[in-house]
A and B are shown apart, each in its own frame.
Chain A
Amino acid sequence: MTSATTTADQRPPLWRDVRFLRVVLQVAAVAVVVAFGLWLWGNLQDNAETTNIPLGFDYLDQPADLTIPGSDFNQSQPVSDAIIVGLGNTVRVAGAGVVLATILGTLIGIARLSTNWLLSNLARAYVEVFRNIPLLIIVVFSYSAIFLRFPRLEDARTYGGVFLPSVRGTGTVWITTDDRGGAIAVVVLVAVVAAWAAARWRRGVQDRTGSPAHGFWFGIAAFLLAAVAGLAALGFPLGYSTPELDGRRIVGGITMLPEYAALLFALVVYTASHIAEIVRGSIQAVPKGQNEAATALALSSGQRMRLIVLPQAMRIAVPAIGNQYLNLTKNSSLAVAISFFELTKVTQVSIANRAPAVPSYVLLLAIYLTLSLILSSVVNVANRRLALVER
């Protein structure tokens, strides 16, 4: 009893009590943020009233009154449909960009570390040039100075039957299927599973016996076997078509709009220079002893890279490369400068077509935030699976 009263008596005055101060500080911080938010909201309503621009999302059902090149979107469809087409275009350019930038970036990053003086310096020059030029300049340059300078349709010709560049679009060869696309997708899926199972089985054999079991080649063989068997069962519904000129149009194959091609090209070239630096740094961060130990075990230089260095470098590189994927996705919004109709351009044009600015941008921000969250959670999962399990 007595001791309790003494403790209570010894409590510091209120303005020096840490527990009390913590509460006050937090309340104050929240109050400031809430007050600021309310102030913005109040301004927004005042301005909406005076300018007579609605704040609701009713505009999404109104006709969009815009045309989107390269899609069968028509002007009477609502704004929400236009945004979905835009989202599709964003995903298309970002997805292709991520794959191509990874391939190019990894190749350049490895070339940068080559013992060949000429190759490593060429890779270095690439990185130093493209890392230090604004992406927007690369986008605008590749559009106006490369893809818009392609031959007009009248003068266009195919190269090797597979490549048809023109100012209205660039055609390349593409796979065709008959109407059983779903069945083909199932066959491909089964083949991938078969390849994975075969590789896993050989891996087990290798772990048990210690002799090389060629899991990679077994996987390839299993994939081809399953795919050919499945396609044969369907009667080989796959074909390919080459781009050809038909008067004023390109028919067959697949045609990339110059806007799409220019944006993709710029994103890949720019992001690859960043990925190359990450790959180089990660490979250099693998302790030298690992390489030396692998050499002592008589592994070839290719085996050293594939089995010893790259798996460990991956672990270091994944978070940083994931960040680059995020950047690439966000940077696809630079399409506004060259009128490729992805999310941002669609939003910008629909605002010009009398869609209210604030709700449009709020929706746009929300979509980008969702995309970023999805991408970063994928990267986090990959990171956790690769992370070193420590004692």
Chain B
Amino acid sequence: MTATTRPTPTASRAAWARKHLFRTPRDSVITVITAAVLFVIVWRTIRFVFFTGRWEIVRVNLGLYLYGRYPTDDLWRLVVTLVVISATAGLIAGIIAKRTRIAAQAAGTPLPGTSIVGRIVELAFRLWPVVVLVALLLLLSETITPTLVTLATVAAAIAGRLVGALLPKRATFLAFVLPGVLPVVLLPFLTAAQGWDDWGGFMLTIFLAAVSMLACFPLGLVLALARRSTLPAVRVIGVGVIEFFRGVPLVVLVLMSSVALGFFLPQSILPGKVVRVIVAFTIFTAAYVAEIVRGGLQSVPRGQTEAAQALGMSPFRVTGWIVLPQALRNVIPALVGQFISLFKDTTLVFVIGFLDVLSVADAVTKQSQFDLANFAEATAFASLLFWVGSYTLSRESQRLEQRLGVGTR
């Protein structure tokens, strides 16, 4: 972090510039050169975005980018899903906020109250890339419907947040139950119109990333515990699996999932292509998650285990109640980092012909009214989708890291 980025109220702008831009002659030269580079970059970017870029390619194919070839008659299913997810997220945020407030009051340090509007504005500033992206999508869309959908989603989130804060304390279990129940209800609802083997666009990307992440966490946990086990045979198996999958490129696993995995399974139970590639993502990411969790396990002082054993706890309870909770808290930021990697790595399904965001960007340049000269516009939009997602996630993870006080306790 740079020490100061903003002029203090007492110092004038000139004094600030002297200190941060022209402190020494060498500094001045650096500033001038950097400013020149920056000017060229900014100027070329502006020229591309506002003048030379031909954004019809994105405008015409916006739906393809976002939800692939999902049947037009069933788009309302996506809208319902979006609103439900957003309301649930709001509800959980409300429940957590209430619990935090109660805990703070009990500790004698009540949180300062801010108005609802103030908090919404603060959130919008914090999530500025998302806000910018949504605004951009609305600008690119041609009808009023997307605007209404956005408003409904935001309204659902706010309503969920307010309701969540009103719920009694014994409703806290909802925060754990709902994320589990939601996929079970929503997936059949979405696949009723189109099976996930035919999904595409950003919807497919999110689906692949979310399912792989959910599946790789338990597997990674088991692998990490196996690697730390005192039983030599179990440890060898753990080390072998982890090091094998960390040593090979993910692309090769993805290619294998489409071409070679079928040879290792009976043809009767061979799953569809999306499930197969999810298996590849899951195993690969689980190996990395295992290493992260192992780091967390190592960070828990031995005294914790010994104290638990002295209290007569069984090995399973020592691990489950004492070691794991502390270990996992320490590695949440690293796990989020791994999730971001996975989110970006879902683009690899491009090489096996899925219709994900990158494939859409590639495919639209082959439409008759566009050509390879439009490639920059098509991929720039795809990158923007990913950039907004992973930048926001990484910023939120940093915030979480600060709130959890990792490394300061």
- List residues of A whose CB falls within 8 A of some B CB: 22, 25-27, 29-30, 33, 40, 43-44, 46-48, 50, 53, 114-122, 128-129, 131-137, 140-141, 144-145, 148-149, 330-331, 333-334, 336-337, 344, 348, 351, 357-358, 361, 364-365, 368-369, 372-373
Contact = CB atoms under 8 A, between A and B. Distances in A.
15 contacts: A25-B234, A43-B264, A47-B263, A118-B21, A118-B38, A128-B391, A133-B386, A134-B347, A140-B358, A140-B379, A144-B379, A330-B248, A337-B351, A344-B249, A361-B255
Contact of A134 (B233, B345, B375): B345
A302 to B, nearest CB: 11
A122 B34 contact: yes
B5 interface: yes
Nearest to A53: B263
B383 A121 contact: no
Given A117-B20, A141-B375, A43 B263 contact: yes
A333 B251 CA distance: 7
A116 B27 CA distance: 7
Contact of B233 (A26, A128, A331): A26
Given A136-B350, A137-B379, A141-B376, A365 B252 contact: yes
Nearest to A133: B383
B121 interface: no
A137 B237 contact: no
Contacts of B37: 122
A50 to B, nearest CB: 8
Given A47-B264, A122-B37, A336-B351, 18 more contacts: A25-B231, A30-B233, A33-B237, A43-B265, A43-B266, A114-B30, A115-B23, A118-B30, A121-B2, A128-B391, A133-B386, A134-B347, A136-B358, A137-B347, A137-B361, A141-B376, A145-B379, A331-B249
B105 interface: no
B405 interface: no
B232 interface: yes
B209 to A, nearest CB: 11
B390 interface: yes
Given A116-B30, A119-B34, A133-B386, A140 B249 contact: no
Contacts of A25: 231, 234
A132 B388 CA distance: 8
Interface string B232-245: 11100100000010
Contact of A368 (B252, B361, B365, B382): B252
A137 B234 contact: no
B375 A145 contact: yes
B232 A26 contact: yes
A144 B372 contact: yes
Summarize A's interface: helix, strand, loop or mixed: helix
Contacts of A116: 20-21, 23, 27, 30-31, 34
B248 A365 contact: yes
Given A132-B386, A140-B358, A358 B234 contact: no
Given A132-B390, A351-B259, A137 B383 contact: yes
B247 A129 contact: no
A26, A132, A344, A361 — which one has the most chain B CB atoms within 10 A of its CB?
A: A132
Nearest to B129: A132
A205 B149 CA distance: 76
Nearest to A26: B233
A129 B387 contact: yes
Contacts of A26: 231-234
Contact of B344 (A53, A133, A361): A133
B35 A368 contact: no
B256 interface: yes
Contacts of A53: 263
Contact of A29 (B237, B361, B376, B386): B237
Nearest to B6: A117
A331 B249 CA distance: 7
Contacts of A357: 259-260, 263
A334 B345 CA distance: 11
A304 to B, nearest CB: 15
B150 interface: no
Contacts of A33: 237
Contact of A136 (B27, B38, B347): B347
A145 B382 CA distance: 14
B63 interface: no
